[in-house]
Structure 1
Amino acid sequence: MYQSISPDEFEQIEKRNDIHIIDVREADEFAAGHIPQAQSLPLSELVARYSDTLDKELPYYLICLSGSRSAQAAAFLGNEGYQVTNVMGGMFSWRGEIEVG
Structure 2
Amino acid sequence: MAQEVTIDELESAIDNGAFVLDVREADEFQAGHVPNARHIALNTVPDQLALIPADSRIWVICQAGGRSMKAANFLEAQGYDVVSVAGGTGQWIAAGKKVSFEESV
* Contact residue 24 and residue 63 of structure 1 kept, 8 A: yes
* Contact residue 22 and residue 29 of structure 2 kept, 8 A: yes
Q: What pairs up with 1:1-101 in 2 under 5 angstroms?
A: 1-15=1-15, 17-50=16-49, 52-94=50-92, 95-101=96-102
Q: Distance in 1 between matches of 2:48 and 2:66?
A: 20
Name the Cα RMSD after superposition.
1.3
TM superposition score normalised by structure 1 = 0.89
Q: Distance in 2 between matches of 1:18 and 1:63?
A: 15
Give SS of 1:10's match.
Answer: helix
Runs of 4+ in 1 over 3 A off after TM superposition: none
TM superposition score normalised by structure 2 = 0.86
Count residues in correspondence. Answer: 99
Where does the alignment leave 5 or more consecutive residues of structure 1 unmatched? none
Where does the alignment leave 5 or more consecutive residues of structure 2 unmatched? none
Counterpart residue identity of residue 65, structure 1: Q
Q: Percent identity?
A: 36
